[in-house]
C-alpha cells in the first residue's frame, strides 16, 4: 500500500476475561509507512490488544480491519495463521530463538511459518522432514532477510552466541520472512544497551522507508519519542489520548496516567 494509506483500523474493540474488561471500546489506526507506538501503564491492555490483532484471542465485541488488495477487510474472527498470511507479523516480548541452532536456521523457520501458520513447535517438527529443495529455498529467503537487517555476517553463528540486541534483530528478520505489511513488536528495546537501541531504531526507520508499517508496545520513552510518528496511549483498556509524540509528551491525561505526574 502507498504511504499514508490506511492499513489497520481497530473499532470499538472489547475483550472480557470473565468479569474483567481488559480492552474496552478501544479504537486506533495505523497507516502505511508509519511507526505507531502503543504505550500505557502495566495492565492497561496492550498485550491483550496485540493478541486481538493477531487472532490469538477472539474479540468480545468490535472489529479489526486490515488492508488487503486495495481494500480494508475484516480480520477479526479469522484464525491467526490467516491473519499472518494477509501480512501481519509479530515478535514477542521475550526472545524466542532456538539458541543452539544457527542464526540462518532460526530465520528460515520464519520463512516456513509464512506458509504454515504460527506454531513454532509444529514447524520445527516439520523442518526435519522437509524436501531438500524447499529447504534450500527457505534458507535463501532467510539469508536475504539477514542481509536486509544487516546481520548476514552472523548467518552461521549459533543464535545463543549473539548479543541480546542482535537476537532481537534476528527475530525481526524472522518476522520479515512473512513479507509483512504490518510488523507488531512487543517491547523491542527492553533490556538493550544504548547503542543497541540506536541500531534497532535505525533498522525500524529503514523498514519504514521501505514502506512497512510498524506498531510497537514499548516502555522506553526516549526510544518511543524519538522513533514513532504517532502515539496511542492506553489506560484501563481504552484509548485516552493519541497524536504526535511531542503532543503526547505534554498531554495532561498522559502525565497523570502514565508518567505518574
Ligand atoms: P499490559 O500488556 O498493558 O500490561 P495486559 O493486556 O497484559 O496489559 O492485561 C490487561 C488486563 O487483562 C490485566 O488486568 C490482566 O491481568 C488481564 N488479563 C490479561 N490476559 C488475561 C487472561 N488470559 N485471563 C485473564 N485476565 C487477563
Ligand atoms: Mg504487556
Centroid of ligand 2 to alpha carbon of 47 (angstroms):
4
Centroid of ligand 2 to alpha carbon of 92 (angstroms):
10
Q: How many structural domains comprise the chain? A: 2
Label residue 109 by pLDDT band (50, 70, 90): confident
- Atom 24 in ligand 1: residue holding the nearest Cα: 17
Give the residue from 115, 149, 179 where a domain finishes. Answer: 179
Q: What separation in angstroms does the CA of 100 have from each of 8, 97, 128, 157, 161?
A: 36, 9, 15, 9, 9
What is the per-residue pLDDT across 206-237, written as a single tens digit (0 to 9) for each? 999 999 999 999 999 999 999 999 999 999 99
| Closest approach atom of ligand 1 to CA 23 | 10
Mean pLDDT of 76-88: 93
Residue 23 maps to a domain:
yes
Q: Predicted ipTM?
A: 0.98
Considering 23-32, 82-91, 127-136, 241-250, the range whose residues carry the highest mean pLDDT is: 23-32
pLDDT of residue 261 exceeding 50, the answer is: no
Please say whether the beta carbons of 178 and 110 come within 8 A. yes
Residue 44 maps to a domain:
yes
DSSP class of residue 54 equals T
Higher pLDDT, 195 or 96: 195
Arithmetic mean of pLDDT over the chain:
90
State which residues form the domain around 135.
97-179
pLDDT of residue 251 exceeding 60, the answer is: yes
Centroid of ligand 1 to alpha carbon of 110 (angstroms):
27
Are residue 137 and residue 189 in the same domain, yes or no?
no
- Atom 19 in ligand 1: residue holding the nearest Cα: 48
Are residue 83 and residue 103 in the same domain, yes or no?
no
Residue 92 maps to a domain:
no
Starting at the edge strand found earlier in the chain, the sheet holding 213-217 runs 88-91, 182-186, 213-217, 35-39, 230-235, 238-243
∠ CA 80-29-69, nearest 5°, is 60
Please say whether the beta carbons of 113 and 120 come within 8 A. yes
Q: What is the pLDDT of residue 254?
A: 80
Mean pLDDT of 133-157: 90
pLDDT of residue 259 exceeding 70, the answer is: no
Q: What is the CATH number of the domain that holds 221?
A: 3.40.50.300
Question: Ligand 1 — pocket residues by CB below 6 A?
Answer: 17, 20, 22, 40, 42-48
Centroid of ligand 2 to alpha carbon of 23 (angstroms):
12
Q: What is the pLDDT of residue 131?
A: 58
How far is residue 153 CA from its own chain's centroid? 24
Are residue 74 and residue 108 in the same domain, yes or no?
no
Q: What is the pLDDT of residue 258?
A: 62
Amino acid at each position: 500500500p502507498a504511504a499514508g494509506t490506511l492499513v489497520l483500523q481497530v473499532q470499538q474493540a472489547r475483550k472480557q476475561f470473565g468479569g474483567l474488561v481488559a480492552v474496552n471500546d478501544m479504537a486506533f489506526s495505523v497507516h502505511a509507512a508509519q511507526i505507531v507506538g502503543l504505550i500505557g501503564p502495566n495492565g492497561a491492555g496492550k498485550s491483550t490488544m496485540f493478541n486481538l490483532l493477531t487472532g490469538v484471542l477472539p474479540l468480545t465485541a468490535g472489529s479489526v480491519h486490515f488492508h488487503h488488495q486495495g481494500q480494508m477487510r475484516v480480520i477479526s474472527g479469522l484464525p491467526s495463521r490467516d491473519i499472518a498470511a494477509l501480512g501481519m507479523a509479530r515478535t514477542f516480548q521475550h526472545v524466542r530463538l532456538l539458541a543452539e541452532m544457527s542464526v540462518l536456521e532460526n530465520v528460515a523457520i520464519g520463512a516456513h511459518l509464512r506458509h504454515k501458520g504460527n506454531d513454532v513447535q509444529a514447524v520445527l517438527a516439520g523442518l526435519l522432514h522437509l524436501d531438500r529443495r524447499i529447504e534450500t529455498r527457505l534458507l535463501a529467503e532467510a539469508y536475504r532477510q539477514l542481509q536486509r537487517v544487516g546481520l548476514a555476517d552472523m548467518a552461521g553463528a549459533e543464535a545463543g552466541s549473539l548479543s541480546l540486541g542482535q537476537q532481537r534483530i534476528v527475530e525481526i528478520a524472522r518476522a520479515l520472512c512473512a513479507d509483512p505489511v504490518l510488523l507488531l513488536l512487543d517491547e523491542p528495546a527492553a533490556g538493550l544497551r544504548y547503542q543497541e537501541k540506536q541500531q534497532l531504531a535505525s533498522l525500524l526507520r529503514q523498514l519504514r522507508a521501505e514502506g512497512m508499517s510498524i506498531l510497537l508496545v514499548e516502555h522506553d520513552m526516549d526510544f518511543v519519542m524519538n522513533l514513532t510518528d504517532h502515539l496511542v496511549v492506553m489506560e484501563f483498556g481504552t484509548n485516552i489520548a493519541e497524536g504526535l509524540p511531542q503532543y503526547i509528551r505534554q498531554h495532561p491525561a498522559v502525565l497523570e496516567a502514565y508518567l505518574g505526574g
